[in-house]
A and B are shown apart, each in its own frame.
Chain A
Amino acid sequence: MDSFILQVLNGLDKGSAYALIALGLTLIFGTLGVVNFAHGALFMIGAFCAVFIQRLLSLSFLTVDDTKKDFLGNPLKVETPYIEAWFGPELGGSIINWSVPLAIFFAIPVMLLVGYVMERGLIKHFYKRPHADQILVTFGLAIVLQEIIKYFYGANPIPTPAPDALAGAFDFGVLLGFDHNTIIYPYWRMIYFAFAGIIIAGVFAFLQFTTFGMVVRAGMADRETVGLLGINIDKRFTLMFGIAAGVAGLAGVMYTPINPPNYHMGMDFLVLSFVVVVVGGMGSLPGAVLAGFLLGILESFASTTWATTTIPGINQVIIYLVAIIVLLTRPRGLLGRKGVMEE
C-alpha cells in the first residue's frame, strides 16, 4: 500500500510537467493548427530564466583575501554578491536563495514576448503549409534556440536549488498511520504539483469565464465564422501562443530545482509531450491534462522493481505501449474531437 501511494505521488508529480507542456502544445494546435516542435525549447528557455535571475542576483565583486590561496598559490579572490553587500549577508543571501520563485515574475513577460515574437516572426508564415513543414521549421527553431542557450551557458547542467525553507521531504507515512520514512515526498515536488494545478485551472478559467476566452473557444471550433463576424481572431490567437509559451516557461522555471537545467532539457520532454497530446486527443485541452497525469502515473508504476522484473524494459516502453493501445481503440485519443487532423 505504501509503495502504491508513493508511486501515485511520483506519477502526479511527473504528470504535472507532462500536463503543463502538453497543455501549451494543445493550446497552440487547437488555436493556430500548428504542430509546434519548438515547445520543448520554450520549456527550456523558461528554466534558463531561473538561471538568469540566479546569476543576476549573484553578480559579485572581487576582494583579495591574503590569508587564503587559490589553486595557483596566489592570494584568493573572494566573490561577494553585490546584493549581500547592499542588504547584508543575511537578507542578501535569502534573496539569492529565493531566486527560483522570484524568477517567475521575470519569466512571465519574457515568455509572452518570446511567444509573440516566435508567432509573428516565423510561425504565422506556416499556417497554411502542410504539418510536415511546420514540424520541420519548429524543430529547426528548437535546435537554434538550444544552441543559443548552450553558447551562453555551456552544456553542463547548472544547479538551481529550491529555497532552503522548501528543501527536504515531508513524511506522509506518519499522517496516514505508517511508520516513519515509509512514504516521504519532497516539498518542492508537492509545490510543483500544486503550481501545475493552479496554472491549469487558471488557463481553463480564462478560456471558460472571460469574453476573450469565449471568442478563442469559438475560434477554435469555427475560425472562419468567427472571422466573418468581424472579430480579429488572428490577434487573439497570437496572444494564445504567448500564453502557451508562458505556461511552458513557467513549467520550466519551477522544474529547475527538480533537475538542474541544461540546454537540451526541452528535447527530453518533447517527444513524451507529443505522445501525451496524441493520447489525450489532438486539440483537446482536458484530454492533454488527463493524459499527462495518467501517463505520468503509469510511467511511475512501470519503473517499480516489481514491474521491471516481471516485464523487463517495461519502464522504457510503457508510454508508447499505452499510446498504441489508445490509438487502436480510440483513434482520436481519449477526449479527441471529430474533425481535428482528419481530412
Chain B
Amino acid sequence: MSKSNFTRRGLLRTGAVAGAGLAMPTIFNGASWAASHGGYTNAPQGGTVTLGFNVPQTGPYADEGADELLAQQLAVEHLNGMGDGGCLNTFTSKALKGNGILGKKVQFVTGDTQTKSDAARASAKSMIEKDGAIMINGGSSSGVAVAVQGLCQEAGVIFMAGLTHANDTTGKDRKANGFRHFFNAYMSGAALAPVLAKEMGTDRRAYHLTADYNWGWTQEESIVASTEALGWETVNTVKTPLASTDFSSYIAPVLNSGADVLVLNHYGGNMVNSLSNAIQFDLLNKQVNGKDFKIVVPLYSELMAAGAGANIKGVLGSMNYNWQLDNPGSKAFVKSFGEKYGKPPSNSAQTCYAQVLLYADACERAGSFNPCAVEEALTGGDSSMPGISSDANKGFLFDGLGNGQTLYRRDDHQCFKDVLVVRGAENPTNAYDTLEIVEVTPVEKVWYEPNNPMFGGDEAKLGSCNPGA
C-alpha cells in the first residue's frame, strides 16, 4: 500500500512558490522593473554609459570601418574630457562639459558589420543585449543602416547612422529611433546639377552604369531626375551586378551609344574598378557629339579615391564632408584627428564623430538617456534653417561640427547642410589632397520636402519612438 505525502498546507506552499516563480519574468519585464531601471532599454547603471560602435572590421570596407572607429574613439575621449576637446570647443550647443554624458563616464563596445545586413544586425543585437549598449553608431552601407535601424527601433535604443547614402534610410525606411547626419543620393544629384550645367552645359547625353541594389537604384533615380531637369538626355541606364569585378563589357558600348557623359552609380570596389576600366578605354580623351567626353562619380570617398589612384583626375563627384573645409569646426576636428592619428579624417569618420557628439549633446539637453527624450532633444526643437521657406523647416539647428550650419530635421531625422562638389585633383602634392573642393552647394539647393516621392511620399512615416524595456 502506498502512502501519499501530500498535505493541504504543503500543496498551498508549493503552489505559492511555483506561482511566484512563474510570475517572476512578468514582474521583471513589467512597469515596476522598468521604472526602477529608467523605463527604457539599457538604462545606464552605476557611473558609466555604454555606446555601441558597429562598423565593418572585416570585408572590403574594413579600412573605412577602421577610420570610423578612430573617430568614434576620439569622440569618446573628448566626451570624457581627454585630449584637446576637439569640436566640443566649437559646437554651438554648449551642453557638453567634457565630464562624460550626464556625469557618467562614456565607454564603448565594438561590433563587426562585415558590410552584411544579417551580420550587422547580429553584432548590434549582441551589443544591445549582452553589453548594454544604449546607442548604436557607425556602418558603411545603406543596406546595413536600414537593417540595424529597424533592429534599434524594435529594441528601443537610438541608432545614429554612419555612412549611408540611399534615400530610403530617412525615406521610406525612416524610423523614429533612427537619425542620419550623412547626406543622401537626392542631395548628391541636387548639389551636382548646377556644377554639371556650368562645366558641361545643358545639352548632354548621359549613360548610367548602376550597381544593382537599393542604393544604386536610388542614386540613379536622383541623378537622372536632376540632370534631366537641366535638359540632359538619359541615353541608357544599365544595372551591373554588385559582384562584378570587370566592367569592360558594360563600358565598351558606351562610346557607340551616342552618350557624352558616363555616370558611375557605384561605390567602393565597384567604383574603383568601373572607373579604372573606363579610364583604360580612354574615354576621357575622346570627343563625342563635338564635346569632350566626361565621367561623373556622384558619391566619392577618400578611400575610393585612394583605390582608384590617378584615374580620378578631373572626375567630378560629391561628398558629405572633406577635411579641407575651412570652418572652425572642421579645423578643430582635423587638428584633433590629425595630431592623434597622423592623417586627416575621411568623410565617414567625420559623420561618425559628429553623430556621437550629437547624441551625447541631446542626452545632456534632455537630462535623460531615455530614447524618446533624446529624440525630442535631437530633432524636436523649433529652430529652423535660415533662408528656407517650408513648414518642414523645423528641428535642431547647430554648427561647429565641421559641416557649417546644419539642421537635424524633425519630420524625417535627416540632417540638412551644404553639400560639397569635389573633383579628382590634377596634381596632388600628397596622399591626402587627391580630391579638391569645386563648389559648396548651399543647403537651400539640396532641400526637399519630407513627403518627396523619392523618399516614400506621403506613406513614409517615422512612427513613434520606442523606449524599449
Which residues of A does B touch, CB under 8 Å?
2-3, 6-7, 9-11, 13-14, 68, 70-72, 76, 78-79, 150, 154-159, 161, 167-169, 181-182, 184-186, 188-189, 257-260, 262, 264-265, 268-269, 299-300, 303-305, 308, 315-316
By the criterion CB–CB under 8 Å, are A70 and B430 in contact? yes
| In the complex, residue of chain B having the shortest beta-carbon distance to the beta carbon of A13 | B248
By the criterion CB–CB under 8 Å, are A258 and B323 in contact? no
Residues 30 to 74 of chain B near chain A (Cβ within 8 Å): 59-64
User: CB of B373 within 8 A of chain A?
Assistant: no
Cα A303 to Cα B247 in complex, Å, equals: 9
Cα A299 to Cα B248 in complex, Å, equals: 11
> Would A76 and B272 be within 8 Å (CB), given that A260-B308, A265-B245, A303-B249 are in contact?
no
By the criterion CB–CB under 8 Å, are A10 and B252 in contact? yes
By the criterion CB–CB under 8 Å, are B310 and A155 in contact? no
**When each residue 242-266 of chain B gets 1 if its CB lies under 8 Å from chain A and 0 otherwise, what string results?**
0101101110110110000000000
By the criterion CB–CB under 8 Å, are A260 and B276 in contact? yes
Cα A9 to Cα B61 in complex, Å, equals: 32
20 pairs from A and B in contact (CB 8 Å cutoff): A3-B253, A6-B253, A7-B249, A7-B252, A10-B252, A155-B60, A155-B63, A159-B276, A159-B309, A168-B285, A169-B280, A186-B281, A257-B280, A259-B276, A260-B272, A260-B308, A260-B309, A265-B245, A300-B248, A308-B239
By the criterion CB–CB under 8 Å, are A76 and B249 in contact? no
CB-contact partner of B280 in A71, A188, A264, under 8 A: A188
Cα A304 to Cα B285 in complex, Å, equals: 24
Residue among A257, A260, A299, A305 with most chain B CB within 10 A: A260
Cα A316 to Cα B288 in complex, Å, equals: 31
> Would A157 and B248 be within 8 Å (CB), given that A2-B256, A308-B238 are in contact?
no
CB-contact partner of B430 in A76, A150, A167, A268, under 8 A: A76
Residue among A2, A154, A158, A186 with most chain B CB within 10 A: A186
CB-contact partner of A159 in B63, B238, B308, under 8 A: B308
Min CB–CB distance A170 → chain B (angstroms): 9
**When each residue 362-376 of chain B gets 1 if its CB lies under 8 Å from chain A and 0 otherwise, what string results?**
000000000000000
Q: Bin the interface of chain B by size.
A: 35 or more
Binds A, one of B94-102, B333-341, B380-388, B406-414: B333-341
Cα A260 to Cα B272 in complex, Å, equals: 8
Q: A155: which B residues are within 8 A, CB to CB?
A: 59-63
Residues 207 to 263 of chain B near chain A (Cβ within 8 Å): 236, 238-239, 241, 243, 245-246, 248-250, 252-253, 255-256
By the criterion CB–CB under 8 Å, are A181 and B238 in contact? no
By the criterion CB–CB under 8 Å, are A14 and B241 in contact? no
> Would A72 and B430 be within 8 Å (CB), given that A156-B63, A161-B309 are in contact?
no
User: CB of B328 within 8 A of chain A?
Assistant: no
CB-contact partner of B249 in A14, A68, A181, A265, under 8 A: A14
Q: B334: which A residues are within 8 A, CB to CB?
A: 71-72
By the criterion CB–CB under 8 Å, are A300 and B280 in contact? no
| In the complex, residue of chain A having the shortest beta-carbon distance to the beta carbon of B61 | A155
Residue among B63, B250, B256 with most chain A CB within 10 A: B256
Min CB–CB distance B336 → chain A (angstroms): 10
A-B contact count (CB 8 A): 128
User: CB of B282 within 8 A of chain A?
Assistant: yes
Cα A182 to Cα B238 in complex, Å, equals: 19
Min CB–CB distance A303 → chain B (angstroms): 4
By the criterion CB–CB under 8 Å, are B59 and A305 in contact? no
**When each residue 323-335 of chain B gets 1 if its CB lies under 8 Å from chain A and 0 otherwise, what string results?**
1100000000011
| In the complex, residue of chain A having the shortest beta-carbon distance to the beta carbon of B431 | A79
By the criterion CB–CB under 8 Å, are A181 and B276 in contact? no
By the criterion CB–CB under 8 Å, are B310 and A161 in contact? yes
Q: B236: which A residues are within 8 A, CB to CB?
A: 305
Q: B311: which A residues are within 8 A, CB to CB?
A: 159
User: CB of B277 within 8 A of chain A?
Assistant: yes
Q: B280: which A residues are within 8 A, CB to CB?
A: 167, 169, 186, 188-189, 257-258
User: CB of B286 within 8 A of chain A?
Assistant: yes
Min CB–CB distance A23 → chain B (angstroms): 19
Q: B357: which A residues are within 8 A, CB to CB?
A: none
Min CB–CB distance B228 → chain A (angstroms): 19
By the criterion CB–CB under 8 Å, are B59 and A76 in contact? no
CB-contact partner of A262 in B269, B286, B310, B429, under 8 A: B269
CB-contact partner of A259 in B243, B277, B306, under 8 A: B277
Min CB–CB distance A327 → chain B (angstroms): 22
> Would A268 and B309 be within 8 Å (CB), given that A155-B59, A155-B63 are in contact?
no
Min CB–CB distance B235 → chain A (angstroms): 10
Min CB–CB distance B429 → chain A (angstroms): 6
User: CB of B432 within 8 A of chain A?
Assistant: yes
By the criterion CB–CB under 8 Å, are B282 and A186 in contact? yes
Q: A303: which B residues are within 8 A, CB to CB?
A: 249-250
Q: B61: which A residues are within 8 A, CB to CB?
A: 155
User: CB of B393 within 8 A of chain A?
Assistant: no
Min CB–CB distance A318 → chain B (angstroms): 11
By the criterion CB–CB under 8 Å, are B63 and A154 in contact? yes
| In the complex, residue of chain B having the shortest beta-carbon distance to the beta carbon of A150 | B62
Cα A305 to Cα B343 in complex, Å, equals: 43
Residues 295 to 326 of chain B near chain A (Cβ within 8 Å): 303, 306-311, 323-324
By the criterion CB–CB under 8 Å, are A157 and B430 in contact? no
User: CB of B403 within 8 A of chain A?
Assistant: no
> Would A299 and B249 be within 8 Å (CB), given that A181-B286, A260-B276 are in contact?
yes
CB-contact partner of A305 in B238, B273, B338, B344, under 8 A: B238
Q: B238: which A residues are within 8 A, CB to CB?
A: 305, 308
Cα A300 to Cα B252 in complex, Å, equals: 10
By the criterion CB–CB under 8 Å, are B307 and A159 in contact? yes
Cα A186 to Cα B278 in complex, Å, equals: 10
Cα A181 to Cα B285 in complex, Å, equals: 11
By the criterion CB–CB under 8 Å, are A260 and B249 in contact? no
Q: B343: which A residues are within 8 A, CB to CB?
A: 71
Residue among B238, B252, B430 with most chain A CB within 10 A: B252
Q: B277: which A residues are within 8 A, CB to CB?
A: 258-259
Q: List the 6 closest A-B pairs by CB distance, nearest first.
A: A159-B309, A155-B62, A157-B307, A303-B249, A186-B280, A169-B282
By the criterion CB–CB under 8 Å, are A315 and B307 in contact? no
| In the complex, residue of chain A having the shortest beta-carbon distance to the beta carbon of B307 | A157
Cα A71 to Cα B282 in complex, Å, equals: 33
Cα A79 to Cα B344 in complex, Å, equals: 18
Cα A2 to Cα B256 in complex, Å, equals: 9
Q: A264: which B residues are within 8 A, CB to CB?
A: 60
> Would A184 and B255 be within 8 Å (CB), given that A150-B62, A169-B282, A189-B280 are in contact?
yes
By the criterion CB–CB under 8 Å, are A260 and B273 in contact? yes
CB-contact partner of B288 in A6, A11, A150, A181, under 8 A: A181
By the criterion CB–CB under 8 Å, are B62 and A10 in contact? no
Cα A182 to Cα B256 in complex, Å, equals: 6
By the criterion CB–CB under 8 Å, are B248 and A10 in contact? yes
Min CB–CB distance A266 → chain B (angstroms): 11
Min CB–CB distance B195 → chain A (angstroms): 24
